[in-house]
Each structure stands twice: as C-alpha cells, then as structure tokens.
Structure 1
Amino acid sequence: MMMKIGEILIRRHLISPAQLDQAIDIQASCRQKLGELLMFQGWIQPDDLEIALREQYWRQNGYWVID
C-alpha cells in the first residue's frame, strides 16, 4: 500500500492534519501538486518535501523497513 505524501509529512510532524485538510481544499481549485502547495504556503521547506518523497518512494518499492 502506498503511503500518501500528506500522511508522511504528518507522521514526521512537519504539518498538522488541519494544514493537510486546508491544503487539500486549496488544491481542489488550483490543481497544484500537494508538496508544491505546502511549500508555497510556507508550511514545509524544500528539504522536508525531498525527504518525504524519498520515504514515499522507498515504501512504494519495498525498501522501507523502519516504522
């Protein structure tokens, strides 16, 4: 099962569930990628997104063993 980027950012305490909900609401009207939108809002930094995307890739491809 693929873990969504928002879930990873919440698990890493980089955003709150409320921030994720707000970003998803905004995303519905602007069609921007969630990570880009979160950076634009100033809630995460580029490094935060890079780490979360790397974790998502590792999980998706069976490399993630830490939880």
Structure 2
Amino acid sequence: MMKIGEILIRRQLISQAQLDQAIDIQASCHQKLGELLMFKGLIQQDDLEMALTEQYWRQNGYWVID
C-alpha cells in the first residue's frame, strides 16, 4: 500500500524533507500525518482528500494509471 506521504511527494505537494520533519513531530504528538501537514500549512484539505482517495483506490485495485 502506498502511504499518504509518498502520494503527496509524488504529486509534488510536499518535499521529502517536509515529510521527514512531519514524521518526527508525529512521533511525539500522535496526530495523523495528513492532519499534521494541514495544521502546519503544507497542504490544503483538498490535497489530503485527493491523497486519501488515491490511497484507497490503489489499495483496492482500482488505480491503473501511474
């Protein structure tokens, strides 16, 4: 399964450094990664919804175009 962070990086919405920083913060606050990225102002709600939809499609075999 492709992770949310990977999807956001592939879509060039965040950088690897931003993802790494958010993961470090997430370890101490136990907040969902997408919510944390939105709180930090790195992504918008629409970006998160798109990434979650893509993740669902990939997980359930619907994602064909890559």
Give deviations 1:8-42, integer Å, cap 9, x for gaps: 00000000000000000000000000000000000
> After TM superposition, where is structure 1 displaced by more than 4 Å over at least 4 residues in a row?
none
Report percent identity of matched pairs.
Answer: 88
Paired residue for 1:42?
41
Unaligned 5+ segments in structure 2 are: none
| TM superposition score normalised by structure 1 | 0.98
For residues 42 and 4 of structure 1, the distance between their equivalents in structure 2, rounded to whole angstroms, comes to 20
CA distance in structure 2 between the aligned counterparts of 1:21 and 1:14, rounded to whole angstroms: 14
Q: Structure 2 length normalisation: TM-score?
A: 0.99
Task: Write out aligned runs for 1:1-67 (5 A).
Answer: 2-67=1-66
State the distance in 2 between where 1:6 and 1:66 align.
19
- Structure 1 residue runs of 5 or longer lacking an equivalent are none
Work out the number of aligned pairs and report it.
66
- Distance across 1 between alignment mates of 2:53 and 2:47: 10
Task: Give the RMSD, CA atoms, in angstroms.
Answer: 0.2
